Amino acid sequence: MTLSELKNIIAENGCVGAGGAGFPSAVKLAEGADTLVINAAECEPLLYSDLMVMKRHLDDVVCGAEYVIEATGIRNGHLCVKEHTGHRLGLEDGQKLSAHVSVKYLPNVYPMGDEIILIYQVLGRIVPPGQLPITVGVIVFNSETLYNVCRAVRDSAPVTQKWITVGGKVPQPFVALVPVGTTVRELMQKYGFFVPEDCVMIDGGPAMGPIIDPNTAVITKTTKGLLILPRMIPAIQSKLAKNRSVMTHASANCCQCSLCTDMCPRALIGYPLKPHKIVRNSLAMIEQNPEAFTEAAVCCGCGICELTACCQGISPRRVYQQVKGILAKNKLRYQHKGELKVDPNRDYRLLPSERFMQRIGVAPFDTGVPEFVQDGWVPSIIDLPLRQHIGAPAKALVKVGDAVSAGQLIAEADGAISANIHASVNGTVKEVSASKIVIAVQS
């Protein structure tokens, strides 16, 4: 299969990154790479979706990897899993899974799933700040993404289902395979869990996932988990703070101990991040001279600086987020110059995942691998956002009243960076707007 043929198949079937922001998968494919890194690190605590995909469909993940390797001319592929995940799957470090794919054990540290950190850990290569992995000869795909690639090529199956973890303060954590566009409200009703008044719901992991409204949220192609967590734990308290108070507290209370910089995962591999310096600046100062703060663009937002390093309750991460918004408004990008030097103490400053879970308050909810639920349930309503990915939203191809079938193309990519969307159920189009398509499921 040629690279062009694979890109067309992946694009036609709406494959996007299942483990992050949803970058359209076809756009990632390019000539010039020599290594495929399969990101199965399951970076954040309490998430088990990737583990379940591999536990049940490891052959399909490897199949998808081989399709990519064949089309791009890549020589090696690494299935990157934390050691405890490898043991749960019965895999050994270095084990060959196919002609080109082998297992690579990762240390159980956070945030190992950040692709910049992952590439350095596995290959010793440093992606220049602001650049893509292809610049160092690497393509990175999440394990679920490759599962979808396999199904797209082998079965002509578009992305219509999502693997999600439901965990935290729930009667019984579980992983489910549900139709894309399922409303969280109906999912809660079906499986008997709810959000207590003293809790919030997170879309994704406890450190990086945003708080969402369970009454309006829906499952998209990028949803990895729904976690219900108490408002009073550190992971949630940091999300609830107002931006203005965060900025004021940061500039007034930093003691310049520099521990946030010393523990920053990207700074440890040479990235120009100095969170202990940026917090000294007020929002007004940053807005007046944004050109002086462009390095904020290369922060991955992992939250170690805020949730583990700082003893003053300061959030350098939130400051960086504010700066990123200002940079975007001014159309400013970071331009790297010079060499990148890895901190010689890096290996001694990695943050064990168990310690991280304790610090952010989620350790009590880590009760082991949850059960898998797949009972053929179909919700009554499917709500499909036209933008479930980085880039331009898809353009609707259907109108109210149209009958649609599962797998049918109902919105097409609109631009070079966009993605097709397919109906995940049989039903009738109930609503079409600039932002979504709603389908009433056929009974």
Is residue 443 pLDDT above 80, yes or no?
A: no
Lowest mean pLDDT among 67-76, 81-90, 98-107, 334-343: 334-343
Between these two residues, 289 and 243, which has the higher pLDDT value?
Answer: 289
Percent composition of the chain: helix, strand, coil (DSSP 3-state, to 5): 35, 20, 45
Element (H, E) at 55: helix 49-72
**Cα separations (Å) of 50 from 40, 142, 163, 432?**
6, 8, 8, 32
Q: Other C-beta atoms within 10 Å of 280: how many?
A: 13
Q: Which two tokens stand for residue 425?
A: 């159920």
What confidence score (pLDDT) does residue 247 get? 86
Q: How confident is the prediction for the chain on average, in pLDDT?
A: 95
| pLDDT more than 90, % of the chain | 90
Assign 416 a pLDDT band (cuts: 50, 70, 90). confident
Bigger pLDDT: 113 vs 251: 113
- Which range is least confidently modeled, 219-223, 242-246, 325-329? 242-246
Alpha-carbon span 39 to 118, nearest angstrom? 8
- pLDDT bracket for residue 442 (50, 70, 90): confident
Identify residue 248 by its one-letter amino acid code. Answer: T
3-state DSSP assignment of residue 300: coil
> Which residues make beta-bridge pairs with 203?
226
What would the two tokens of residue 33 be?
């790479």
Instruction: Categorize the per-residue pLDDT at 337 as very low, low, confident or very high, splitting at 50, 70 and 90.
Output: confident
Q: Omega of the bond prior to 129 within 30 degrees of 0, cis?
A: no
DSSP string for 301-345 = ---HIIIII-SS---HHHHHHHHHHHHHHTT------S-----TT
Q: What mean pLDDT is predicted for residues 166-179? A: 96
pLDDT of residue 399: 98
Instruction: Compute the average pLDDT of residues 190-206.
Output: 96
Asked whether residue 309 carries a pLDDT value surpassing 90, the answer given is yes
pLDDT tens figures, 56-87: 999 999 999 999 999 999 999 999 999 999 99
Whether residue 383 is predicted with pLDDT greater than 90 in this model: the reply is: yes
Q: Which among 312, 325, 327 is positioned nearest to 260, based on CA atoms? A: 312
* Entry field: residues in the chain: 443
Report the amino acid identity of residue 40: A
